[in-house]
Chains A and B, each alone.
Chain A
């Protein structure tokens, strides 16, 4: 790619590569921590729930989580603004170069970080390298645990499987997964637009988390289109990128107070 490292941080010079194609803006000032995004993502992407014990071991499969920290001590204590954390689809993703089987390539077409389930062999090096800790590993076949089934005439029937989204692969154990910026929705919208002979309009579709958020804290869209809502929001003064100093070039801008 030939990025001039001396220009890292100079928004003008590498703005194009840094911004990428699809991006997101999360307004932490209005995020209320309600977890609607977490639930919506789970329903859209066939995420398994792991149960209390595995959750205690930190093996939950949340592709997006809401972080909360504290500042100060009682009674001068404040909760920091709620912080939805998901895969930042980094331009310089630390997870990409460490996969021994190239299961998490950078998509040239969509300019996000892909996770190809059938290539993954479960080394978990990518999760180890991710500074945002947003990757989850399928430690078990969570979807087909007998606890979730009913015995019908000697056969195990899983009613929850009716809810699966056919546009998203159902993962088995041994495979890594993470937020995909709802690439299935990206593809569906692009295909629909192509079939009608036009481009995808801004706001025509959005990710599951952005669609559910009651506060409209999450905005998604084309960062390379300077007219798009997400582009305009991202260039406001009080936008920050998390762990920017690691030069991961994340595609998500967080808006703080102000």
Chain B
């Protein structure tokens, strides 16, 4: 064009022009065409652009923490703790936070199905059925079978559905429902409760007042991870450290590996697996000696020097701990987990509880009490032990179960394969699953009638542990159901009405809410409730608004344990099944829990002690690994008497050289795209051995290790250079 415009000016003009058009294009209504659908009819209490909050209960484990769910325009977007619920006081754990990844999981069962056992769930292969058909199927199953041959398997939470099924079973003469979960196996709950019963005369879950203790001895109890009520006990632990400016408390963990809980301990005692009970007795004996006075009968027959030589804990260490016990203002000893999952677990639990008797802390601040019964509870019903589940499997195998209803539990995954649950299903003519997700057990069912997700459900749940008050946590839908699912309680109620006769009489309620209210009505006149109401409708409204009902005062029962020290306590040597040279310690993955594998954000949470994500690993002491010629990420085969699995190795510096450990939570073969085909299930290595209380001796296996030629890189958050700079070495 004209020679008067220089190149620089031209460029300036051009860029200004281009910039202007770029700015303008981004801001027009047609440059970003979206559609907005307003409500057709706005709910009364909703305001445009502002969130509505609903109080409900978390269903990710059986602790029963209260939640407040933030919803925006009918979508649940964030979960927070309910500040007034005594269990969690406004806090949540990682699994509670990730519950939304269950609600909005792309792999949910979306409608009732007639299913072909053993196949994956495909809507095209499976036949969708209507809910009326589904209810007919359930009604027929109830009516056409002898009540003694009907089986109910449910999850660990003692909730309204458990009450409904218990009432139904009791009325028609069917066996009571069995509640089970992998957590109850790894917590060895039956052992803890049996020990309680033996010592205190009451089969209740003890309450450990860690908050007010100044010395905590934990024998395998992972109370900062998933044990019993982790949010409540974490709060207790924090209170122990910071609640009293004059003392920080001293925490000693007895375990064969540094778990997340042990990582917070002031002292970690890597004792020989199986000797926990003996060590407790030895400490008791030495503490009694240090205090002066007579040695109680309980500790009379133990020889601390023998124990020191047997347990890998030096005499100096035992004496040091005993001295701490003798001098502590409020010492507490907690039995749990790997200490109890052994053939001598019951004796070990009693020995540890006896230590509490020695320091006379029963019913005192910083000591052991019995958890109060929840509202509406006549006595504590514990989940089934592994042995009881084994008996049930035997009943299935012998054809004694003609129809099996499964809700809230995935036995094929959560029970050791050696119990043979999967094979036993072949002898059950009809299996009906109420699973929300397509898990392994649902895939072996004949019908899947999906329950709502916990955040879409009504209900209540008793908080059995971790609190000093009697708590009934309430649930209400935070969102409308996303899919064509239906509350299992509603399905059973409708089926009972359809079946008529004694079934209809057993459950004369038109829907779930009416059933729940029939149970809540007993609470109306109860004293000391944190709210009261004159009649059921007002009571229900408050129940929903606050997320439950609980008593204001502490109702811890001081156990009478005067007799705890009067008998000589024996702990026999632990027996280990299998011929390998390594002790095998499976532990519940602290971030995944028992059922978290289908939630991708839980998979992406690094394990607190190894920082591994998205897979299973085997923890092996670096010295042992060096000796065996095994490096990080080498895949090894672990062989037990019950089976074998392969997993990559993580050189873990804080584990006994004779022990290997593996997290439980992965190894699914179904359960959605994020869980299936990922990792291995350590339960497949566990044999069917039970201790006196009926718990599986999950910590009582010995395994062999075989190298494979393969490597599988683990995803770690920490540096790949590794703990001892192994990754820095030249190759």
Contacts and interface: CB of A to CB of B under 8 A. Distances in A.
Do A and B interact directly, with beta carbons closer than 8 Å?
A: yes
Interface of A: 27, 29-30, 32-36, 38-40, 42-44, 47, 49-53, 55-56, 60, 62, 65-68, 70, 73-75, 77-79, 82, 147-150, 158-160, 162-166, 208, 211-217, 257-258
B77 A38 contact: no
A162 B91 contact: no
Interface string B223-234: 011000011001
A25 to B, nearest CB: 12
B697 interface: no
A258 to B, nearest CB: 8
B510 interface: no
Nearest to A42: B601
A214 B76 CA distance: 22
Contacts of A216: 91, 235, 238
A258 B231 CA distance: 23
Contact of B606 (A47, A66, A257): A66
Interface of B: 72, 75-81, 88, 90-98, 100-101, 103-106, 108, 224-225, 230-231, 234-235, 237-238, 241-242, 248, 258, 260-261, 263-264, 268, 270, 482, 590-591, 600-606, 608-609, 611, 613-615, 621, 623, 653-657, 673, 678, 713-718, 723
Given A27-B242, A55-B613, A60-B613, A49 B714 contact: no
Contacts of A158: 106
B606 A35 contact: yes
A82 B608 contact: yes
B450 to A, nearest CB: 15
A160 B260 contact: no
Given A55-B614, A68-B609, A43 B263 contact: no
B715 A56 contact: yes
A52 B715 contact: yes
Contacts, number: 190
A254 B717 CA distance: 21
A163 B76 contact: yes
B241 A29 contact: yes
Contacts of B264: 32-33, 82
A256 to B, nearest CB: 11
Nearest to B591: A35
B380 to A, nearest CB: 25
A74 B724 CA distance: 12
A60 B235 contact: no
Contacts of A47: 601
A45 B718 CA distance: 23
A211 B657 contact: no
Most buried by A among B77, B604, B615, B657: B604
Nearest to B657: A74
Contacts of B260: 32-34
Contacts of B609: 33, 68, 79
B261 to A, nearest CB: 8
Given A27-B242, A49-B600, A44 B78 contact: yes
Contact of A43 (B79, B106, B718): B79
A33 B608 contact: yes
Given A49-B600, A68-B263, A163-B100, A34 B615 contact: no
A164 B242 CA distance: 36
A38 B94 contact: yes
A62 to B, nearest CB: 7
A217 B100 CA distance: 24
B613 A36 contact: no
Contacts of B231: 214
A128 to B, nearest CB: 17
Contacts of B100: 43, 163
20 contacts: A27-B242, A30-B237, A32-B237, A32-B264, A33-B260, A38-B94, A39-B94, A39-B602, A43-B77, A43-B100, A56-B713, A68-B608, A77-B653, A149-B106, A162-B76, A163-B76, A165-B78, A211-B91, A213-B91, A214-B93
